[in-house]
Amino acid sequence: MILLIILLIPFLTGSFLFLFRNNSSIRFVALAASVVNLLLTLLLAFSASASNFAINWINFMGVQFALGYDGISLIMLILTNLLFPFILLAGFNRDQKNVSQLNFLILSTQSALIGVFLAQNAFLFYVFWELALIPVYFILLIWGGDGRRSITLKFFIYTLTGSLFLLFGIIYLYHLTPGNHSTDFAIFRQLHIPESNQIWLFWILFIAFAIKMPVFPFHTWQPSTYTMAPTQGVMILAGVMTKMGIYGALRFLFPIVPLGVLYWQNTIIILSLIGVVYASTIAFRQSNLKKLVAYSSMAHISLMVAAMFVQNQFALQGLLFQVISHGVTIVALFYLVLIIKEKTGTQEFQQMGGLKLKAPQMSIIFLIVVLGSIALPLTAGFVGELLMITGLFRQSAWFAFIGGTTMILGAIYMLYAYQRVMLGEEKSTHEKITDLKSLDYLILVPLIAIILVLGIYPQPIFNLVEESVRSMQNLLSPIATVVSAIVH
């Protein structure tokens, strides 16, 4: 029951707010709802007893409205509910049009995302998966920047194409289930699909996730969308929606088409590693701060995808840890990009420099976030990336070597960006700039605290995912031994 409450709180609050025209207390109500949701989620995470919820929805299609969770869902759920209060806070004291609609859309996205992570039925998963996209589409379309009309449509069509292939895959799996067909994940997991079918089914399912994450070469929607998106939209996209792709892949590919995964494993890892190097290189060449952060996000996600397909304990733990760490870091980074834009009126490096002199505290916070992003020891990023690269090393030293370039190249372009924004000579346009306001501290300090605390003491996250990591590993390992036995 608590799952249903967590699912519905944001949506119901949002719908309630939608009825009001722009009222000053709307943001507070929205924030309060998301904070309550966060508290409930933490309660769920640290309570011993499991909770689930199921009622029949469409009997003749074998669809149940079933909610439940395991360690992986829980990580995603915590991340979502942790980030949304900050995303909502980022709208405070800012001049926005149609506040009630915006908050409605943000809260609806939150509900849909929670639904994606809790759904125990593939059909339900798909419905929430699509539902999450619609409010984001409108956030981008109505509150986005230049060129939003064509960019949002491209983004929408791109992601929907993937989704419809996923739908095809779900229906195909549904029709393979025995007896009265069902779309339950538990039943999907028991299917034994011949390898020749798994090989193509893998791509049908994977494309949706690959576009969402995005994996090279399905990333072309991403840079323009991130650049044009309003800050809250890009926080949702980069912070949480990329994780939908990772979650979907973990939920669908490994349990249902393990042979397909084994067949394509190296292909995907190589594609992801190309993505790592590609995104890092392009990030380095950017003259626009927001674009640079967008490409850096793609580089980090690509490394996570590579680690996901290695499928050993280190890589998986690192991946799930990095899910939290990347989400928190990227939201903090995009928030800083927003403040810098507000203060200097630009995102171009050419017109920036010497911001440290006017805003020393901002420069310190920016530095900490940058260091977290480039995975310096004692930050959360370090724990995640180190584990993932260790995992990659077990597969192949070359993979680890190329994966490791995210850390090196990341350090280069992020520090270079820091240098160009904060250091150097002060620009004349910076006359009236002031340091951070209390609202900015309210957002940035907790995020930095999470980055540092998890960097020093990562154990709580590992405890949460321990069991899921073990079961994920078991999915592939017996089959792997069987396959290698056949080969030899």
Chain positions contacting other proteins, by CB under 8 A: 58, 60-61, 126-127, 130-131, 134, 138, 141-142, 149, 152-153, 156-157, 160-161, 164-165, 167-168, 171-172, 174-175, 181
Contact of 303 with 326, CB cutoff 8 Å: no
- The CA dihedral of 474, 475, 480, 486, to the nearest 10 degrees, is 120
Establish how many alpha carbons lie within 13 A of residue 129's alpha carbon, considering only the half-sphere containing its beta carbon: 31
- Residue 58, SS3 per DSSP: strand
- Give the containing element (helix H, strand E) for 63: strand 63-67
Nearer to other proteins, 87 or 170 (CB): 170
Nearer to other proteins, 160 or 367 (CB): 160
Min dist CB 147 to other proteins, Å, is 13
Min dist CB 60 to other proteins, Å, is 5
Contact of 114 with 3, CB cutoff 8 Å: no
What does the block give as tokens for 56? 């029949």
Rg (CA), the chain: 22
Nearer to other proteins, 198 or 280 (CB): 198
Min dist CB 107 to other proteins, Å, is 16
Q: Which residues of 433-467 are buried (b: 16+ CB within 10 A; e: fewer)?
A: beebeeebeebbebbbebbbebbeebeebeebbee
Nearest to 172 by CA among 256, 67, 111: 256
Min dist CB 208 to other proteins, Å, is 12
Min dist CB 70 to other proteins, Å, is 24
Nearer to other proteins, 156 or 216 (CB): 156
Nearer to other proteins, 135 or 372 (CB): 135
Nearest to 169 by CA among 123, 217, 113, 132: 123
Nearer to other proteins, 197 or 288 (CB): 197
Between CA 328 and CA 330 the distance in angstroms is 6
Nearer to other proteins, 164 or 479 (CB): 164
- 397 burial via Cβ count (<10 Å: 0-12, 13-18, 19+): exposed
- Give the containing element (helix H, strand E) for 53: strand 53-58
CA distances from 321 to 234, 328, 348, 454, 458 (A): 21, 11, 33, 9, 8
Between CA 323 and CA 443 the distance in angstroms is 19
Nearer to other proteins, 113 or 375 (CB): 113
Between CA 361 and CA 264 the distance in angstroms is 48
Min dist CB 138 to other proteins, Å, is 7
Min dist CB 15 to other proteins, Å, is 12
Min dist CB 161 to other proteins, Å, is 5
What does the block give as tokens for 299? 């580089």
DSSP-based helix, strand, coil % in the chain, nearest 5: 80, 5, 20
Min dist CB 65 to other proteins, Å, is 10
Nearer to other proteins, 164 or 191 (CB): 164
Min dist CB 114 to other proteins, Å, is 15
Nearer to other proteins, 61 or 378 (CB): 61
Nearer to other proteins, 141 or 367 (CB): 141
Min dist CB 352 to other proteins, Å, is 31
Between CA 126 and CA 117 the distance in angstroms is 11
